[in-house]
Structures are given as structure tokens and as C-alpha cells.
Chain A
Amino acid sequence: MKHPQAMLLTVRVEPVETHPSRSDGVRRTSTSSVRTAWCLRALLKAFTVFLLSGALAYAADEPGKSSRVPRPVIEAAKGGQCVEPAADMRRNHMAYLKHQRDDTMHGGIRGAKYSLKACIECHASPATNSVTAAPTNFCISCHSYAAVKVDCFECHATQPGKATSSFHPLVHPTGATAALSRQLRQLATQPATKP
């Protein structure tokens, strides 16, 4: 309710109201009861406008738009129903993944509910086909916002299907260096061609 925009709207609306007794021109001498009623109506209208403007100002505060606090910007992916409710996944996804990874790795149990591969298949960005390639991609947007290093993608592919993965610099600062050193090494190991 302290929003400057709301105050401005309230002030602007009030002078527009005209005195009802002035428009008809019949009774110039208004009684105190009529004056009180008019005042109350004007106040009510002003209050309604005030509330509406407040709601508008609140709507403008939605994540990632005009708030002073930055929020993670997560672009929409495939969508649909996740394996658990979103709130549960936000808090517990790491535990679900960790428990199942041991079953899969050591026990050979595959196709259970919580699989990183399935996460990526659903949450990969339509633009980059990845969960980490751009700052707005699913995994990296929240993890960079929360400043939690995500180790999964040092080994695991970040793209679904047969596509190859790539590191976002936020995930792995040496990704580009590695590609460069690989190229250099290939050049070095190639037999020298004599002119």
C-alpha cells in the first residue's frame, strides 16, 4: 500500500468527482446530511480506485519483471505432469536422483520413476535442446540463482536423445579450454606434412 503509483492514481481521481447538487441547479443550499453522504460516496470511490491501483502495482511485481529482486528466469519447456508436485521436486529432487542412481548403478534397476535422463528429456529447452546451454535453461537458471554448483553435468549429458552435450560456462568454466586443448593436441599429434 505504500506504492507511489497507487498514491498518484488516488490523487488524480478525486478532483474529477462533481458535486451532485451543482449539476441539477435546484437546491443550492445543501443540508449537512447530503454533504456527508456525498463525502462518503467520494471516499468509497477513491478507496476502490486505491485498491485497484494497489492490485495493479502488485501484479507488476511478478517474478522477473519489474521487481528489484532478481528471480530465476526459466523458459518454458515441454511441460506436462512431473513425477511429483513441483514444490516437492524443488526441495527433494536431489535426494530422489541420488537414491535411484545407486539402484541403477549397482543393482541394474532401470526405468524407475526418478531418472536424470527423463528429467532432461522433459525439461530441455526447445531453443538450445539442453538444460544448461543458456542461462535461462531449466537446471542452470535455478542453480546459478541459488549459487549451488551442479556436478551432474560434468559426466552426464545435458541434452536428450543422441544429441551431444555442452557445458555452460557457469557449470564448467574449463569447457571451452578443454575444446581448445583438444584441437591443439590433435594438431600436435598429426604427422607433419612436408611441403
Chain B
Amino acid sequence: MKPETSTPCSCGSGGACQEETQKARRGFLGVAAAGLAGVMLAPGVRLIEVAQAAPNPAAPPAGATAGASPKVRWGMLVDTSKCTPGCNACVTACQTENGLPTKPGPTDAQWIRKVDIKEIRTGKAHSLPVMCQHCAEPPCVDVCPTGASFKRADGIVLVDKHICIGCRYCVMACPYKARSFVHEPQTKQKPDVPRGMGTVEGCTLCVHKVDKGESPACVTACAAAGYGAIAFGDLNDPNSEISKRVAQYSTRQLREDLRLDPGVRYQGL
């Protein structure tokens, strides 16, 4: 109130009339704010409620599953001390499960690959599988011009090939090189994994299996090969095995500096 009272008023009656004006303004603003906050679109429906209700899908039809829950965050934990150089079980299982070519050519899609790294100074070598990291803040989704690249409520990042135009912007944006473009007509698709020319694809975290309550093919194959290096589960559930291990051991995300919060974590790296 100090600046107002210090300036002289033109009406000649000192600060009294200014005080009146301020009060009136304050009163008006108060009423306006209350009015805006309570704007009703229809009796009992406010804009804010519509906005909050929108992301929730409608109730699933009879006989169908409930669908992806936003309370779940699917994730993987790869124990690089158990992952063995030369073992390709996860890659093979991925190819078999998803109908990818088992002998990929230079232009074929690649959903998961084995990466061998060595620290030059110490000579310590690691072998680890790298696939779509299912980021919480996926750059592929940010750049997609059609909305084909999207993140499901449970954290799985997918490509909707019905609306993908094959621009490959997501391939450029992904720091993990997890996306591939399909260059040629496909003829050996699996009923659960549609794949087609002119679209981009990547690891789906075996979404068709996860929706049935199963683990991704790479996880099952790694366990079957006797290594058990990949754990799969709900990162949001404190009682899940993956959550307990993440809480107990120090784990890392690839390219933590990008702050994408990947759902795939690596232990012993």
C-alpha cells in the first residue's frame, strides 16, 4: 500500500479516495477469481473434472481384460555379472517369439542385441543385452509427428503401426538405437506380433505375453539357459522381486545423464 499512498491524488482529498478504489478493485478481483474457479460447463461438471477424467479409458467390454494399469510400471533388471559373453539366448528367443528373421540381414529389424564392453584401464569386461529401455520420458514419443509412438499406462513404449508413417524420427531420437525400420514386405508374421513394411518397430516388452501375465521371451529364455540374468516385474510394487533387488543393490540406467528414467536397469555395470 505504500507506493499508492505516496503518490498525490488529483481529487485533492488526500489518500482517502485512493483507498476506496483499491478496496473496490480487490473486491472485484476476488469475485472474479471465485467465479473462474467455479465455472460450470453443466450442472455438477467442471472443466477440471473433464480434464482429469479424459485419460481414463472406458470400462472394458465383457469378457475382456482390464487393460494396462497406470499403477504398474513394468521394468527389467539385468545382472551383468550373470550375463555371459557369447550367449545369445535372449536374442534368439526374441526373434522366435516375435517372428523376426533368425539370420538378420543388414536391413532387417533388430529388437534386442548383445553388447560387449570392456574398461580399457582395468580390462574388466561386461556383456549385456540392450533393447528398448521403456523410458518414463521417452524421446521417441516426444518427436513422433503422428502419435504412433506412445507410452502405455503401465510404462511400455510401443509403436502403433496403424498410424505410423515411417518417418523414422523416433529412430533418430532414441539414444539406445532401439528402434528399427522395416524396409521390405513381411510374410512370416506371428498372429500376436503384426509387423509390416514402412513402419518402425522395436522391443514391445512382449506386451502380448505381459498382458496374459507371462514374462517376456528374453527373460524366460535367459532363465532356461541357466543364467537367470534378467528379472522382470513391476517397479511400482514394493513387494516384487525386481523392486526388492533395485532397493538392495546399486543399479544403473544407461545414459542416466539424459534423465529419461528407463524401465530397464543394469546391475554390476
Contact = CB atoms under 8 A, between A and B. Distances in A.
B188 A110 contact: no
Interface of A: 101, 103, 105-113, 117, 120, 154-157, 159-162, 164-167, 172, 174-175, 177-179, 181-182, 185-186, 189
3 A-B pairs with least C-beta separation: A155-B196, A108-B68, A112-B64
Given A112-B61, A120-B191, A157-B194, A106 B185 contact: no
18 contacts: A101-B162, A103-B60, A106-B160, A108-B65, A108-B207, A109-B57, A109-B60, A110-B67, A110-B211, A110-B212, A112-B64, A113-B61, A155-B186, A161-B191, A162-B190, A162-B191, A181-B184, A189-B106
A175 B185 contact: yes
For chain B, give the interface size range.
35 or more
B53 to A, nearest CB: 15
A154 B60 contact: no
Contacts of B212: 110
Nearest to A163: B191
A165 B189 CA distance: 6
B178 interface: no
B241 interface: no
B64 A117 contact: no
Nearest to B191: A157
Contacts of B189: 155-157, 164-165
B196 A107 contact: no
Nearest to B198: A154
A132 to B, nearest CB: 11
Contacts of B57: 103, 107, 109
